[in-house]
Structure 1
Amino acid sequence: MSNPVITFFSALLTPKPATEGEGEPVSFGLLAGVVLNAHTLLPIEGAVIALTPGDFQETSNATGTFLFLEVPAGEYTANVSADGYEDAHIATQIEALTPATVNILLTPTPDPEEGEPGQTGAVAGFVLDAATLAPVPYAQVSLTPGDKVTETNIFGAFVFTEVAFGNYVLGVNADGYEDGDRNVTVESVAGATATVLLEKEGEPPTGSIAGIITRADFTSLPIAGATVTLMPNDISATTNALGAYAFPDLAYGEYTVHAGAEGYESSSENITVDEPGLISVNISLVPLEGEATGAIGGFVYDAWTRLPVEDAAVALAPGERVGQTSMLGAFLFDNLPYGEYNVEVSKEGYVTATESAEVDGTAASILEIELTPSEGEPTGAIRGVVLDAATNVPIEGVSLKVAPGDYEAQTNGLGAYSFTGLVYGEYTLEAHAAGYDPEIRNVTVANANAIQNFALTPVETVDEGESEGEGEGEDESEGETEEETGCCRCRDSEKSVDWMFILKEYWLFAAVMIGVGVWSKRR
């Protein structure tokens, strides 16, 4: 079974050949990541990420994520800045056809009115599975001394705020895992970050090998259907349409990865698995002398929303080859003799589209194909996050209404909400929550997503006598809860979660988190 993260990133990468007279071909890679508040772990929208050397710049979106495509392979520094935060500078390396990730925690700029800066900081980080580097949600994290306790969110993230300067021990336990710990030191307002890896309970430590098999020529295209054998285990895997393979859960030791494919010379690589996580082993195969071939690939989008169309049928003629688009709407046909081809794309609910392409050896032919819905009107969505204006903590259970249409929704445990299937036009959006001032906005839906984030202001109340005493008691109770949980909001497992929203709106965040594992160690 192919690794979904490798498939995900591979679909984005297309190498560019050098033009005549430029010498060696230029190889390109990808850099993705997320920018978070180091104290609250909330996404930071509008952060500017600049790569040096070069003139590459992107801005984080509403979920804090960013993405650089077609960056020449090499060493870079990611310079990150955002209003109200201290700048960060992170070194990273981008390799050809190899996605890289860089996740950034920005520290809020100290407020002079809050007292002398430098007295406290924050401790934030992630809890990950040691074998796969996948996030471990709902793990219990303790900070001692201080007896603070919190729980990781669905991305395995945790945070403790207002931690006095000093040395601490992070203790972590989760169902099905051995307990883990990590020493941290808080010595500035920037605080400290830490990643804790947990081993599966009762299992020896393991690692994994994964990679992409490509052509050893100027195209560097992935090879589908290549056979990859792992020795001495004598187990085999077949690369998917994007040349990806994976061997998970391998005991520590020495291995040989052997790759072969029809029409190519075989090649092998020796590798040592001696730590958790996935080790990247990418192998290039030299084409045998014979008929020259090339490739046709591309992406399929919805003509109205510009979102990728997944599982669309893609037919190539001549040759009678058929494939399907990936989760990003990507497709690829390789080993094609030089000549002209027609690419036909179809899916239920859309008008079939046809594009022509030529394979002539100068470069891979990349197409962008739009599918028009066969009926109905173009639709979009209104979605966003609702926070407490005083604490920046997500508010669960906020009631939201959209008119016209009388649509209703409630925020989930992350404070997120979404309204989908809205015909393009003007709408009124209302947000109501007990204990907060309501807010009403006019929203225009004119594309796939209209992002509307709220910061609701708590209602100021003045009670007298017994009522005032009761109010103080409630405040103390809330304060104790916050100290016990380290200011992360723990999700009640009995409550429903809007998983579709999380999957669609936070897909890049999740990919980045898992991608850290896939590409954390390179040869």
Structure 2
Amino acid sequence: MKHLYLSLLGIGLAATTAFAQYNATITVTDLSTGLPLQDAEVIFDGNFQTTNAAGSAVFTDLIDFDYSYTVSKGCYTANSGMLTIAGADNSDAIALEPTTANNVFFFVGSPLTIAGATVTLTDGVDYNETLETGAPFGDLFENVPFGEYSYSISIPCYEPLSGNVTVDCTGNGDGIAVFAEPVALTANAVFFFVGSPLTIAGATVTLTDGADYNETLETGAPFGDLFENVPFGEYSYSISIPCYEPLSGNVTVDCTGNGDGIAVFAEPVALTANAVFFFVGSPMTIAGATVTLTDGADYNETLETGAPFGDLFENVPFGEYSYSISIPCYEPVSGNVTVDCTGNGDGIAVFAEPVALTANNVFFFVGSPLTIAGATVTLTDGADYNETLETGAPFGDLFENVPFGEYSYSISIPCYEPVSGNVTVDCTTGDGIAVFAEPVEVIIDATVTLASGTLTATESGLDYQWVDCDDSNAPIAGATEQSYTATESGSYAVILTMGDCSVTSECTSVIVNGVEDRSSLNAFAVYPNPFNEILTVRSNGQSGVVHVELINMAGQMLRNETRTGMELITIATGQLAPGSYVVRLTSANESTTLSVIK
């Protein structure tokens, strides 16, 4: 049996040797250069070899058959072919074309990839491709031509990434790998759109978290203005624009996911009013000034100054206004002001410098409770100022604009005691200086008595003027004594004067008997008549005291003689002027009045 087995084995080996005695040689070259390619991988009928330096791979012990093979090498495009063994060795040559593209893999995120990232790869010329990540083990751009590329990666709520990559042959067949680890965003842009439909330029926008972040911008971009990279958090903002109401609000800064940032829309309201500041006095303001501001219609407001840096009327509607400023001890000030938008936010400023008063009014109230008209008031400083007025106003009379200083005054009124005094003229509260005077009325007794044809005023020590009531109170020439003896029958009165006060008595009727008093015709005799140097009176036996009075036609007593127990009484008349005279004779029992002529 052993011998048989060996015989059969020998027969089998002989047969195999007879069929598997041929070689196949595959030569690999570079298509572009024709040079042999070493280390190319050749798979021939399931057998694997790499080419030698000559670019060849030899497969032996082949039997007659049609064989297929594939050739691959890094950085080359794989190729394939057919080789037939038919009773002899055979060879085949195959060329590989160098590759011009590679795959580029993007691994966004670590350890797990982030889905939803937008990756753009471009050479800046012909190649510009985009993909969105989603594969759990990376995403790829296939067959990217060799060259230099830039890429960008954007993911909502992550910092954008960008970089450069060289696409060439890696040799390992795994393509180009780009690893990116985006950083989650911690800030966002905040856009302010101030105004609608067009934005308003020149608005000042302040954004703050009340702690570390406090930024300001001025609007000007036609489609909104932005704060860049604002850290996530809660913020307040304020918007101020000249001639607009201020705006404020709150905004949450977080990731929006759309990449457009946070949008704040504001529509400021145009101002219709402004503040009006009054600065009264310079360099320091004057407290206590009363300022009135009015448009003559609906607006009429008043304030009293006191703030050290100006006083204000708030929210005054735009328009034209007049103002007045009054301050005790200062000249009044008035003017006009236009209230509109100033644009600087400081309001309207009115500067006034009142002039301190140097004069005041002095009011005289003469009489009480009612004033006395017709009083003459003189006010003087004894130097430059000397003014006079006559009272008549029912509520006092005034000297206007009397310079500050010390003054004396005098008040005279007919039939009143004169009044005088001193007054200081300075600044009061705007009511002027008041002087109250109550003159004492002068009382003159205007009683007249009549005795023996002689009228006598009761009040003594005055100035007198007798008048003829029958001749419209015509003054009687020379009749200026306290008594008056009428030479003719008639009605008489006297004007009594004390200083500037004059009163007139009632009229008194007087009857003069004529040339002789017939009832006493034989009691006395007077001669010669007419007389010259001497006038003689004979008593015709009258005993006792005889009283002789010689009176001129003005009622003036020129001679007044008294004799006792004398028959003849002589009176010197040489100094008398020619004219008519009256002789009045009185004894204990008789009296008579005679007319004589010189």
Q: Normalization by structure 2: what TM-score? A: 0.21
Which of 1 and 2 has higher RCO (CA within 8 Å, sep 6+)? 1
Higher strand share: 2
More helix by share: 1
TM-score under structure 1 normalisation? 0.23
Structure number with bigger Rg: 2
